[in-house]
Structure 1
C-alpha cells in the first residue's frame, strides 16, 4: 500500500508554478491576481480562504479578500462580483461556498465572468469540460487528475466508481476519468446515495473516488484487493482525545480500507492540498491568457 501524498505533490506543483510566474513577469506579463469573496464567519470557510490567500503569497500571486456580513443581500453581492468582473487586474474570482440560504449560489456563480471562473463552476466552464474543450476545470477534480499524473497511474481500461454526483466533484470527476487522455480512458460508474447494492459495484472497482460527504462511508468490506482509493471527504467529528475536541476524517474508513489498497489518499494532506493547486493553476492560466 502506498500513500498518495497530496502535500508532497502540491509542493512539487507549486514550485513549477513559481517558475512560470517568474517567467511571465520576465516577459512583461502581469502578476496573477486572485480575488476571494467570503460571506459570514463560518470557521471552515475562514480556514479554506485563509489557506488560499497564503498560497497566493507563497507563489508570488496578488490576492484580494473581500469579507461581507452574512446578512448581505443577493443584489449587493451580485454587484460586488460585477466589480471584480470589470477590474482588469483581477484574473480569478473565488466565491467561498456555502453561502447564506437567502442567496442563490447558482445566481452568484453564473454572475462570474467565465474568463475569471477559476473554480470551474460556471455553466460555460462545465459545458466546455463536457465537450472536451479548453476551459477551467473544477479545482478538486483537476487536482486529483494532477495527482494521478504525478504518480504515473495508468487508468486505461480500468473500472472507476465515483461515489457522489455533485457538480463540484462527482460529476466532473466522472467526466475527466472517462476522457481519452492520460490519466483517463477509464470505464466510469457514477454512483450516489440512492444507488442500489453499491457494495457490489465498489467490489468490482479498480479505482474508487469517495465524494459523498459521509464520514467513514467506504469500509474495507466494500473494496477489493489492490484498488486505488481517492478520499475527497473532509468531515469534522468529535474526538475527546484531541485537545481541540475534534478531528478531520474522510469519507473512507482509512484503517479498514488502506490495507487492501495499492494506493490511497489520506485525510488530511491528501486531496485538500491538490484542490488548492488546481485553483492556482487555473488562476495562472487566466493571467497568461491576458
Structure 2
C-alpha cells in the first residue's frame, strides 16, 4: 500500500530562516535597521525556559537583536504590565512575545492587550485577530502561518479546496480558518460538539488537527489522498518513563491513507519559531515604513 509524503517542517523552517537572514542582511545594508525581538518569561517553567532559549538563539542566528526579560514567578500583573510598557516604548524592540503560560495571579488577556499592536508578533491581540478576520494587514499567529506555508508548499494554489480545522482556539483554530478562507478554501470548523467528526473529516481535502487530544484522528477518518497538518504535541507515557511525543493524528494509520502528512515531532513545531522571526522582520519593516519583502524559503 502506498504511504503519504512526509512534510518535513524542520527542513522547510531551516530554509525559511535562511531567507529571513538574507533579508535582514539587506535591511541592515540599505536602511541601517536591525530587527529586535524581546521575549518576556515569568517564572521558571522548564519547558518555557527551553522555548525562550531557542527563540533567542534562532533570532541571533538570523542577525536579529534578541532581548530577554525575566521576572520571578511571584511577579504581579502590575509589574509585568510595566515591563511591557517599557518594551512598547523601546525603538530597538520591534516584536514582543510574552511566554505562556503565565502564573495564576496574572490575567493573560490583559497582558496580550497591553502589547502594542504593531509589536504583537504572536498575533494574539484582539485588534490583530480582527484585522485577520476582515482580511487586513494583521500580524498572523505563528503556528497557523507556518501551517499555511507548509500547505501552499505542498499543494500550491488552495482555492476551492475543502478544508476541515479541528479545534477552535484563538491561538490556532480560529486564525487557521481565517487564513484558509483568505486562500479561497471552503472551510469547516469542527470541535468537541461537532456531530460525526469522522464524517466531516472524510469530506475534506485538507485536515488541520489542533485539538490537543493524542492520536484522536484515525486513518479511516481521512479521505484518501488528503493533506494532513498535525498541530498537536502530546506526550504519552512509556515504560522507561521518558514518554513519547505524538500528535492529534494517529500517524501509523493516517500515513497509509493521506496523500501528505506532517510528522510529530519535526512537522509544524519548527515552523512556529521560524514564523515568529518572520513576523518580527515584518513588524520592523512596517514600523519604519519600508515595504515588507516577500520571504521565500531558500532552495534545497
Q: Provide the TM-score with structure 2 as the length reference.
A: 0.92
Structure 1 match to 2:86? 83
The answer on whether the counterparts of 1:32 and 1:284 sit within 8 Å (CA) in structure 2 is yes
Secondary structure at 1:148 match in 2? helix
Aligned length: 284
> Which residue does 1:249 correspond to in 2?
246
For 2:223 and 2:279, locate their aligned partners in 1 and report how far apart those are by CA, in whole Å.
Answer: 35
5+ long unaligned stretches in structure 2: 289-300
Q: Is the 8 A contact 1:33 1:62 kept in 2?
A: yes
Counterparts in 2 of 1:1-290, with a 5 A limit? Answer: 1-179=4-182, 184-241=183-240, 245-289=242-286, 290=288
Give me the whole-angstrom Cα distance separating, in 2, the residues matched to 1:44 and 1:112: 23
CA-CA distance at 1:168 after TM superposition: 0.5
Deviation at 1:278, TM superposition (A): 1.3
Q: Please report the RMSD computed on the Cα atoms of aligned residues, expressed in angstroms.
A: 1.2
- Is the Cα–Cα contact under 8 Å of residues 29 and 288 in structure 1 kept in the other structure? no
How far, CA to CA, are the matches of 2:45 and 2:140 in structure 1? 26
Unpaired runs of 5+ residues, structure 1, are: none
| Contact kept in structure 1, 2:152 and 2:158, CA below 8 Å | no
Specify the SS of the correspondent of 2:255. Answer: helix
Q: TM-score, structure 1 length as denominator?
A: 0.95
The separation in 2 between residues aligned to 1:236 and 1:68, in whole angstroms, is: 28
What is the Cα deviation at residue 152 of structure 1?
4.2
**Is the Cα–Cα contact under 8 Å of residues 34 and 61 in structure 1 kept in the other structure?**
yes
Please give the alpha-carbon distance, in whole angstroms, between the structure 2 residues aligned to 1:218 and 1:149: 22
How far is the alpha carbon of 1:154 from its aligned partner?
3.0
Deviation (angstroms), 1:68 = 1.5
